[in-house]
Every structure is written in structure tokens, then in C-alpha cells.
Amino acid sequence: MSRVSVVAALVLVASLSLTGCSAIVELLSEASGSGSTGSGSTGDSGDGIIEGTGDQTDIFDIAIGDCLNDGVFEGEANSVPVVDCSELHESEAYSSFLLSGTSYPGQEDIETSADDGCYEAFEEFVGIPWDDSTLDYSYYFPTKGTWRTGDREILCLVHETDENEEPRRSTGTLENARR
């Protein structure tokens, strides 16, 4: 993990088999002392689909600006509920970038690259640096299985947090929220 002294990572979404998905990691400051993933109204139904309100969208079809009800859970996923940002939602896609290389670098190296890239992109989208923000970020990243099929994308997600730094649902875009 990068910035071990600043950020602890919790795995929220595991990999999809060869048909595709990326894992998601939620970043919370160490100050929260939380070892749990929180709770949400969505979850993995066991069939690779994240249950929740919204239109099920293939994980690879999520676009920057899409708002998701991807919930807090552990498991496999191949699609997530996408909703209009004016509706209650749990996260918003704010940046995407590709990793290079032919050999799978390992989850730790991928998470370090994802953390660094999403951290850097955060300020441009939100309007202030992550260190000064009340918002947090997470990301989807390639797994060993999806890497073999050509998946190299990191998808950064921004979300609001409550007073315990747990994710909470919001309405509206967080673009230029400056908080």
C-alpha cells in the first residue's frame, strides 16, 4: 500500500472471473481506526451482480461522471447499479487511467499505482486536495484474472463520508464540490 502512514485500504469488491471485473478498494484515514467496511443497502447476491437501486451496468461500461450504488461489501461482481447523479448514490466515477505492462505486477503494486493515480486526480475533480477534503475515494482495479484478458484500467470513485469516515449516500455530483 502506498502512504501506509496516511491511508489504510479495505477490500470492498473482489475480482470477477475471466469475463471481467476489477476489484475496488476503499481508502480511509488511519485516524478513523475502523477495521470494518461499514454497511450499505447493496450487496453481492452470489451471482456476480451487485444488488441495489439503478440500472445494472457492466463494470467495464462505467464512464467518468457515472454515479453508482455499488455499496460496501466483499465478493465478486460483474455489474453495478448506475443511477442519475440527482438520485441518492454511493459513489461517482471521477477518473480513469491505464496501467502498462504485460506481466501481472501483483495486487500490492496495482493498488499502489491506483492509490497514487486516484490521489493525484482527486484535486482536479473535487477542486481541493484530498488531504484538505471531507470526501474520500476508492477505486476499481484489475485482478490477476482480468489482467490476463487485457484489463489494465483503474477507475477512481469519489464519495462522501460521515463523521466516522464511513461512506454515506449523497445526491448530486461531487465535481468541483470543493469540500
Residues 18-40 pLDDT 10s: 334 456 654 433 222 222 222 23
Percentage of the chain surpassing pLDDT 90? 60
pLDDT score at 136 = 96
Q: What is the pTM of this model?
A: 0.76
pLDDT score at 125 = 98
Give CA torsion, residues 118, 120, 124, 130, to 10 deg. 80
pLDDT score at 50 = 63
**CA–CA separation, 94 and 121 (whole Å):** 8
Q: Is the pLDDT of residue 3 over 50?
A: no
What is the mean pLDDT of the segment spanning 104-122? 97
Question: Domain spans of the chain?
Answer: 7-168
Q: Are 48 and 58 in contact (CB under 8 A)?
A: no
